[in-house]
Amino acid sequence: MLSIGRIVLALLPIVVFIDAQTFSTGDNSSIADCSHECSHKDESRFCLDGNAHFYERLLMGHLRYYISTQVAIDLWHKHHKQGVARNASEIHEEVREGLGLQWTGEKDIVTEKIIDSLADLVTERTQEITLRDRKHAPPTHCPIPCEYTHDLYIILLVLSGTFNIILITSLIAVCTRSAERRNRHLLVATDDH
Ligand X SMILES: *[C@@H]1O[C@H](CO)[C@@H](O)[C@H](O)[C@H]1NC(C)=O
Mark residues 94-133: x for contact with ligand X by CB under 6 A, - for none. Answer: ----------------------------------------
Residue 50 Cβ vs ligand X, minimum distance, rounded to whole Å: 8
11 touching ligand X, by CB under 6 A? no
Q: Which of the stretches 28-36, 53-61, 75-83, 157-165 binds ligand X when contact is defined by CB under 6 A?
A: 28-36
Burial of residue 159, with CB atoms counted within 10 A of its CB: 0-12 exposed, 13-18 middle, 19 or more buried: middle
Residue 27 Cβ vs ligand X, minimum distance, rounded to whole Å: 8
169 touching ligand X, by CB under 6 A? no
Q: How far apart are CA 29 and CA 36, in angstroms?
A: 14
28 touching ligand X, by CB under 6 A? yes
Helical axes 112-130 vs 46-80, angle rounded to 10°: 50
170 touching ligand X, by CB under 6 A? no
Q: In the chain, which ranges are continuous DSSP H helix?
A: 4-24, 46-80, 88-102, 112-130, 146-192
24 touching ligand X, by CB under 6 A? no
Nearest to 38 by CA among 29, 30, 47, 27: 47
Residue 92 Cβ vs ligand X, minimum distance, rounded to whole Å: 10
176 touching ligand X, by CB under 6 A? no
The smaller minimum CB distance to ligand X, of residues 87 and 169, is found at: 87
Which of positions 56-95 make contact with ligand X (CB under 6 A)? Answer: 87, 89-90
Among positive and negative, which fits the CA dihedral 138, 143, 145, 151?
Answer: positive
Nearest to 73 by CA among 59, 86, 82: 86
Give the interface with ligand X as residue ranges (CB under 6 A): 28, 31-32, 34-35, 87, 89-90
